Amino acid sequence: MGEFVLKYADAQGLVHQQVETAESEDDLRQRYADRGLLVYSVRVRRSIQALELGVKRRGRIHLEQFLIFNQQFVTLIRAGLPILKALELLRANIKNRKLAAHMDAIYNDVKTGIPVSDAFRARQAFPPIYTTSLMAGEKSGSLPDVIDRFVQYQKVALAIRKKIVVSLIYPCLLVTLVLCLILFLVTYVVPEFAALYDSMDATLPYLTQLLVAFGVTFSEHLLLVSAVTAGIVFAFAAWLRSETARDSFDRFKRRIPIFGTIWVKYQVAQISRLLSTLLQGGIPLVQALETAGESLGSKLMQNAIQQSRASVKEGQALSKSMAQTGVFPELAIEMVYVGESTGSLPAMLNSVAEFFEEDVHTRMTAVLSLIEPAIMIFMGMFVAFVLIALYLPIFTLAERI
């Protein structure tokens, strides 16, 4: 007899998780299937799971390489190969060490009779949406379809992410160049002029005195300033590790003018696409909300999704539960309400994701088009200030001569 963690859904669609004692996983699955319950997963209790399944967490996998694996995996399955044979063929050609190690362990687990969804879940390195989709595909007999749907979802998500990153490269490069220029002027140019004026025993204008005092002080304490800056960065990173801090920081980002709205819409687009993919894969709404919450990086959005999940579990509509969180935009709530009313919630959620992704891209492009000239103007004004402050005493000395 062993102890297993069982996750199942009752006749009302509510998801339950509890610890049960049974002779084997198959015995426990059969027991609950005979009662007409949908079993999502059965796994050995955590205390002995590492001994039973050989679980060894090796860190997160490289997502793009994992997508390539899944494209090959679904092709082999649709060609009629058994899952075990497909895993055997693919694991020998994986170049990434982390992914190869996971695939070796998964192959060995599946070889012993463990369901492929449980084998992937045991590794604790794969996205929750993937393992949940695998489980749904096993139950419905449409494993290739759910894998293909996951690949399409990740491709779109990666494309949106890359588009945003590319649009940020040029502003970040400009900011870096401006900071390097300021550092060079303050730590090298200003102290050189200060030494020159000191040797000439010149009377400096007030503007030059301020710049020289700041430049000399900063240059003399550069190591201290660097150490303090690094300490602040590390302290901030350590602070963000706590859930309370992450939630507070997310609320702060949400209140930032212009950028806060863009951030919220990007998060809503991610959530909508996640839910759409899960619902299209046959996952019940309550469990889809749970999986979506686990997949998000924002603590504020995680809490909002969990709050919505609790309301939906009590019988409320998704649109109403989203409105109660006070986080989701009104337009997204209205579109979800229409989707619920027409019975096309997955398709409407996909439309919500597409709309907000396009809106985020448009707003980002508009904001960045204003930031770039603002950076250039600031850089020009700062250089002009330094030049005037440094050369003003020379003009004064020339007039005296």
Q: What DSSP line would sit under 81-103, residue for residue?
A: --HHHHHHHHHTT---HHHHHHH
d(CA 281, CA 288): 10
One domain for residues 49 and 73: no
One domain for residues 49 and 63: no
* 131 assigned to some structural domain: no
Q: Is 126 helix (H, G, I), strand (E, B) or coil?
A: coil
One domain for residues 27 and 147: no
One domain for residues 278 and 218: yes
* 132 assigned to some structural domain: no
One domain for residues 71 and 42: no
**In Å, what is the CA distance from 77 to each residue of 39, 40, 277?**
24, 22, 20
**Along the 401 residues of the chain, how does pLDDT read in single tens digits?**
566 777 777 766 666 767 677 777 777 777 877 777 777 677 765 433 333 333 344 456 777 888 888 888 888 888 888 888 888 888 878 888 888 888 888 888 888 888 888 888 887 788 888 887 887 777 767 788 888 888 888 888 788 878 888 888 888 888 888 888 888 888 888 888 888 777 777 677 788 888 888 888 888 888 888 899 899 999 988 888 887 888 888 888 888 888 888 889 988 988 888 888 888 877 888 888 888 887 777 888 888 888 898 898 888 899 999 999 888 999 999 999 999 988 889 899 989 988 998 888 888 888 888 887 888 888 888 888 888 888 777 776 655 55
DSSP characters for 210-223? HHHHHHHHHHHTHH
* 275 assigned to some structural domain: yes
DSSP characters for 128-147? HHHHHHHHHHHHHT-HHHHH
Q: Convert the pLDDT of each residue in 298-356 to its tens digit.
A: 888 888 888 898 898 888 899 999 999 888 999 999 999 999 988 889 899 989 988 99
Of residues 212, 207, 209, the one with CA closest to residue 186: 212
d(CA 149, CA 275): 12
Task: Look at residue 51 in the predicted model and tell me its pLDDT.
Answer: 31
Of 126, 155, 170, the position where a domain reaches its end is: 126
One domain for residues 257 and 366: yes
Q: Is 297 helix (H, G, I), strand (E, B) or coil?
A: coil
One domain for residues 339 and 233: yes
Residue type, 319: S
* 315 assigned to some structural domain: yes
pTM (2 d.p.): 0.67
- Tokens 């009629």 found at: 80
Which residue range forms the structural domain that includes residue 80?
58-126
* 133 assigned to some structural domain: no
d(CA 256, CA 247): 15
Of residues 37, 44, 48, 7, the one with CA closest to residue 23: 44
